[in-house]
Amino acid sequence: MLAPRIIRQLEEIVGKEQVTCDPTDMLCYSYDATQQSFLPDAVVFPADTAQISAIVRLANREQVPLFPRGAGSGFSGGALPTRGGIVLVTTRLDRIVEIDQDNLVARVQPGVVTEQFQQAVEKVGLFYPPDPASLKFSTLGGNAAECAGGPRCVKYGVTKDYILGLEVVTPQGDIIRTGGATMKGVVGYDLTKLMVGSEGTLGIITELIIKLLPLPEAKKTLLILFDSIDGAAQAVSAIIRGKIIPTTLEFMDAATIACVRQATQLDLPEEAQAVLIVEVDGDAALLERQAQRVLDIVAPLGVVGTRVANTPAESEELWKVRRSVSASLRNVNPDKFNEDICVPRSRVPEMIRKVDVIARKYGIPIVNFGHAGDGNIHVNIMVDGRQEGQLDLAKQAIEEVFAGALELGGTMSGEHGVGNTKAPYIPMELDPAAVAYMQTIKRALDPNNILNPGKIFLEAPVQAS
């Protein structure tokens, strides 16, 4: 519980109406997309960088844990106030400061919703590719903190590839700028890349300089059904070997298709054991040829059906197959653990087979879908937490899924981050020297362990003697 004098100081910084200690209000900021909840001691809603700086200085001086939060849509517990303290919500910093059409850059505040930013730049013929599934409500600051991805990253890359510079409040409350609006810049260490993906543990982002692209003229969507996951995976490699880099290459396995069949009226033939949604974009005159080339490449690989969208409405209809998945999972079991492993794309079938073995071993359904173009598999472990022992089985299954991904040269997180949910598994992927190196950085920048403690590393970095 925070001392009354600290609450009064927070109110002096942001105004009394922008601080709450009411348990009912704070409940809304106690959870994210994981199945966890931690009640903070206070929630504060700053309006600008100066207020955030003052809040951080106060927290550092009083050694109160401070948890930055955007929309709270993360899947790894990155925004959870696991040690009480203060939740600092950035959603009031929601301005698109500038869209520079001459230099193809934008300056934005961290509370801007991803989809709203995409729509704003598209109105002037520009394009911001990163498209996490949460784009309708996630914020750009949160996307940067987690280095969010999405379906389009197979062609266009992830969030870190579009962040040119940042304004950041350090753990001591200083305000610094990293990078800039130029496409090149090699003066000093690359602090921008250090901050992107650091999950709010090294600083609080208060402004972003974002690289933009020209908006592609048109796009074309194909839904291709295969008789095996091997055929679908071979198709992914064959398409890219054929010198076509699609905008998206999304896949669904047999378990996912079964969920979609049960939850929707979509007509998916029984022999379909895997689905690819392939989208190409660019010059409208070339798209028809590209789409036909994709169909020709995959034809020998066990295709049992194809659908090609010729209008935006038809494209949206095909994407309903993918978007219906999350809602349909609740028909399998009420509780979901959504992991986001990543393996080399040629090894996706091996990974799916490993997951099938794990599902049978523990007797729990596991549903797989994701971004086949970059090997990013969303492994959804479905259990009923009301049944004794189910949550323990899920934890054992998760560890084996991570181990399987690492055996295939992959990683235990492609885009969700570590947060607190994956922190116990860090030693499986990173050697002790690498972890110590990261902890040295954390200790140097945040010696009081104020910012987002308990995330990425289970324990606070140990002070050198």
- Domain harbouring 381, CATH code: 3.30.70.2740
Residue 179 parent element (H or E): strand 175-179
pLDDT band at 370 (very low <50, low <70, confident <90, very high): very high
Q: Are 433 and 48 in contact (CB under 8 A)?
A: no
Domain that holds residue 225: 216-331
Q: In the beta sheet, which residues pair with residue 250?
A: 277, 371
Give percent of the chain with pLDDT exceeding 90. 88
Whether 461 is in a domain gets the answer: no
Find the mean pLDDT for residues 144-156.
Answer: 96
> 431-439 long-range contacts, Cβ below 8 Å, gap at least 24?
none
Is the domain of 295 the same as that of 389? no
Whether 459 is in a domain gets the answer: no
Find the mean pLDDT for residues 423-433.
Answer: 96
282 pLDDT higher than 50: yes
Find the mean pLDDT for residues 366-375.
Answer: 93
Instruction: Take residue 135 and report the two structure tokens written for it.
Output: 């784009």
Is the domain of 171 the same as that of 105? yes
Is the domain of 110 the same as that of 73? no
pLDDT at residue 462, rounded to an integer: 44
275 pLDDT higher than 80: yes
| Residue where a domain terminates, one of 69, 89, 109 | 89
Q: Are 164 and 114 in contact (CB under 8 A)?
A: no
| Residue where a domain terminates, one of 304, 331, 358 | 331
Poorest-pLDDT segment among 118-122, 204-208, 226-230, 405-409: 226-230
Whether 456 is in a domain gets the answer: no
Is the domain of 257 the same as that of 357? no
Q: In what order do the strands lie in the sheet with 274-282?
A: 303-309, 218-226, 274-282, 248-252, 366-371, 376-383, 335-342
Alpha helix positions (H), 330-389 = 348-362
Q: For the segment 222-235, what is each residue's pLDDT rounded down to a tens digit?
A: 999 999 999 999 99
pLDDT band at 328 (very low <50, low <70, confident <90, very high): confident
**Which position has the token pair 């197959």?**
321
- Domain harbouring 55, CATH code: 3.30.43.10
Phi and psi angles of residue 34, each rounded to the nearest 5 degrees, phi first: -80, 180
Whether 454 is in a domain gets the answer: no
Is the domain of 62 the same as that of 107? no
Whether 455 is in a domain gets the answer: no
The number of distinct structural domains making up the chain is 4
Q: Are 370 and 400 in contact (CB under 8 A)?
A: no
Whether 230 is in a domain gets the answer: yes
pTM strictly above 0.85:
yes
Region of 323 on the Ramachandran plot (φ > 0 left; ψ -120 to 50 alpha; else beta):
alpha
pLDDT at residue 35, rounded to an integer: 81
Is the domain of 327 the same as that of 357? no
Alpha helix positions (H), 339-431 = 348-362, 390-407, 426-429
pLDDT at residue 65, rounded to an integer: 98
Is the domain of 369 the same as that of 430? yes
Is the domain of 257 the same as that of 297? yes
Alpha helix positions (H), 183-268 = 191-195, 229-241, 254-263
319 pLDDT higher than 90: no
Q: For the segment 58-104, what is each residue's pLDDT rounded down to a tens digit?
A: 999 999 999 999 999 999 999 999 999 999 999 999 999 999 999 99
Is the domain of 149 the same as that of 161? yes
Whether 59 is in a domain gets the answer: yes
pLDDT at residue 93, rounded to an integer: 98
Phi and psi angles of residue 40, each rounded to the nearest 5 degrees, phi first: -75, 175
Instruction: Take residue 413 and report the two structure tokens written for it.
Output: 């997180």
Query: What is d(CA 422, CA 398) in angstroms, rounded to the nearest whole number?
Result: 10
Residues 6+ apart with CB under 8 A from 94: 109, 111, 112, 113, 139
Whether 453 is in a domain gets the answer: no
